[in-house]
Structure formats: structure tokens, C-alpha cells
Chain A
């Protein structure tokens, strides 16, 4: 038995990597918003969900007219990125900015607002989908080419759509790295993240930069939604919560506010979860099953916050008075 388990290890790691790609892309949204505003945007999980739903709609309406599966998947990604990005920006404009302008000192206020937005969006999407199609459980359609398998060494095998997901993730990460480090917008985002009042004295319009941060984070979340749908096919308006909370864990794991940390944290968490989900059953001889994989992330989160709250790549920071 143990030999078979060892043989399985490369495949488990590969599966974990795929899941990790999704987590990493969501985690970026959490970390960027936290970076500029110091706010945990609970509603980001719903931005991810809206992306996944937008992707299904693209498949529903463009699917019959477009033959090339990659073109179709790209169209879904682009549409989802725009819709999710727009949603994140609208959320900032309508819910968070009024609070910021009021200058309330109560830290709970924006947090509770974010939770409210998150719950509101779940049912709102459910209502829209229900009225539109009479059904709010949705499936990404199967495609023979995207699902075609290739054998890899070490007993691994990979599907075309998995390669596609990895490629998109890598591309987006390079693009984001370029944006943050080499463009004026990136510089402005870093400035606002470091010190908002000073940045605004230097001629940066913080509202504009914050809105764009939401836009970028939201777009990445939307792309993650489509990737999730492509990989696991069934989605619904409540699908965002669990990946959302795991991605947040990933962001903390990497060091919240740090985009490279979010990428690393996502990959690590995806791997740990898949490893745990697969091997816990064998290691405990059936006593603990796959069910515990979902609380693994929470336990990691608690331990991490207790012993290394700055995360893997973060720096310790004293509390500002």
C-alpha cells in the first residue's frame, strides 16, 4: 500500500498546484485591497463567484457560435475579468467609499459592511440567475479537446485545460509583477499602500488609485472564477465562500499585503489541502476522512496568526498609535 501511495505523490502535488493556482489568483485580490486600505474585503469571495457565473453565461451564449475551445475560454476569461473588476469597483464606490469619507474611527464598520455586501451578492446572483434561466446551479460544458489527457513522467497525467489554467496563472502573475513594479500606476499603488496621507500630498489621487486596485484585484478574482469552473465544472451562487476563506488564509500565509506572498501562499495552501485530503484517510487508517480537508485551512490560519502573524514573506510591523 505505502508504495502505491508514494507513486501517487507526484500526481497529488500536481493536483494541489492546480488548486493552488485558483487560490493564488483569489488571494491577490484580498492582499492588494488589504495593502491599500487595511480592509479585509469579505465580499471578494463573491467577486470570484460572479466571475465564475459570468463565464458560464459566456459559454451559454457564445458556445454555439465559436468552435475553438481556447478562443471560447479566453472570451470567458476576458468577460469575467471585466465584470468582476467592474463589480469590485462598484462595491468600493457604493459601499466602502462613503464610509471612508465619513471618517468613522470604528474598525468594525467597514468589516461588517463587507460581510453584508458578501451575503447580499450571493442571493442577488441567485435571484438574477433564477429569473433569467429558472435555475441557479450551473455547469461549465464538457469539451473533448480541453479534457484530452497527456501522460507525463512519474505516473502523472495532465489535461489540456489544466495546462491552460497554469499558463493563464503564470501569464497573469508576470503581468501583475510588471504592473506593480514598472508602471506609474504600480508605483502609485505602492505609495498609497505605504502611506496614504503622504501619497495624497505627493499629488496622487488616493480615491482613483484605490478604485483601480479594486478593479485589478476584482479582475484577477473573476479570472480565478472561470479557472475554477473549467477545472471542476459545477458552480452556484454560494460557491465563493469556501475558496474565498481559503484564499484569504493563503494571503495571510504569504504575508498579507505582499503580492508575491499571496502567490506563494496560494500554491502552498492548495498543495497542503490536496495532500491532506488524499492522505489523511490512509494515514489514520480510515478514521479521519476527506471531510477534514476543509478545516485544515482554518487550523493553519489560526496557528499561523499565533506564531507567525507576518506570514512567510511578510515583515513585522508595530501597531500604529
Chain B
């Protein structure tokens, strides 16, 4: 067990190192550098000023020095400085984190509580009308852009209720009910989309397990349908679902990027888009790296959970 964890940890660190290289390289892919872009936006270029800015940003040094310097910063927790705000990046990102985490957690709750039961029902009633309806329902969720779903929800509330939740952020300490409503809608939009994959995996995994001998035995013993499905079958069928939930977490961040923009929530994901549009590259670089760390950590967590749930993983190769 210990070697297994250490092994996974080593792979995770190597992957992160590789990802940091990819991110660093990607942001320097474009012809011209950040300083060019900044000056192009200003319309006027003073060579001396340009040199000064290059030096200030440490961009007059070779790439590998810059890369190593960035790695050092990440490891020591120094996230650099934002061009636009002229503030340490961490100071800007910190208040945004709870918003995104809350939304991500709520969306995940919606996704799981919508995806798993519909997947189970769909598998148990395989090829019935209900199965078809549920599958189309989940596939529709996968097909609608998250940002459009958000817009339609807002639009629908305006025309049917004549009321929409505040589109400026309300803190939970200020007005909890308003805060809850404000988060419920985007969580529904993102969660519905994410539930599709969970539903599909639950369905196919359960269908496979339901064909196994021990399930037939359970039926033959005369146990009730509820016990057979929820206690015997789902226990084994849930393993791939756990993996997908882990993967889904990464997928969810993509959904948050646009949903936070549509619902005007001051989270990290919306800030990433803004930083990209403002060409605030130190922020972009660090935020993407941050997302990479979150994704790798959640994958690691799933691996651990998997080895707890399924002893075969622990002792296998």
C-alpha cells in the first residue's frame, strides 16, 4: 500500500513538472512576447521603455533561466505579480478561491445526485421508454453549452418569474438566502452538464454487473429488487463511477470558466478569462498551473480512494 502511494505520488510530481513545461512553452509560442503585446495595445513603442520593462519582468534572460525562476517561485508559493493590478497575484486570487470552490462543490453535488440515480434507473429499465428518455435527457445536457444554459435559465426566470437573483455577488454573511439562490442556478447549469457523463458510466457499469452470476444468485435467493440493486450490484458498479467523478472534476473547471462569466460571479475561473483577455500572462501562467495541480491532486485522490474501495488495485501490478 505504501509503495503504491509513493509510486502514484512520484508519477504525479513528474506529470506536474511536465505540465509546467508545457504551460511555459505554450505561453511563449506566439510570435512576439508579452511586452510587444502590451506595447501594441498602447500603440506607441519607446525602445528604452521597452528594454526597461523587459528587464523589470526578467524577460531579458534566457528562457531556461526564466523557467527555473518560475519553478522556484511556484515551489516557494510566490505566485508573481499581476501587470494590471500591480499587486501580488496571490492577493488577488485568494478572495476568489472560496467562490469557485463553493460553486465546484455544489455543481459536483448536483452532478452526482442527478447522474447516479438516473444511471441506475436507466440500467434497471434497460431499453424501456424511460431508459430512452433519460438517455436523451443526459445527452442533451452534454450537448448544450454551459454558458448558453446559464443564459437561458436567467432569461426564463425573467420572463416567467419576472425576477432574477442579483447579478452582483452577495456574500453568505450578508444575506444567506440570496447567496444560496445565486449559487444554486449556476450550480444547476454546470451540474446538469456534468451529470451526463456520470449517468452514462453508472448505466453501462451497472448493466455489466447485473449480468454477473452473484447477482443471479441474489435474485434466486428471493431478495428484493432494491437490495439486489443498491446493495449488491451498485457496490461493484460504483468503481468506474468514482474514476469518472475524479475526471469530471477537471471537466467541471472548464464549465466554470464560462458559467462564472455568465452569472458574473467573482471566482478564479472568470478571473482566468479576464487575465487572458488582458494578456496578464504571469497570472495566466500561475492560474493554469494551479488548475493543473488541482486536477493532478484530484486524480491522485481518486487513485487512493480506488485502492481503498478495491483491494485488487492495491496488490495488482
Partners in one complex: no
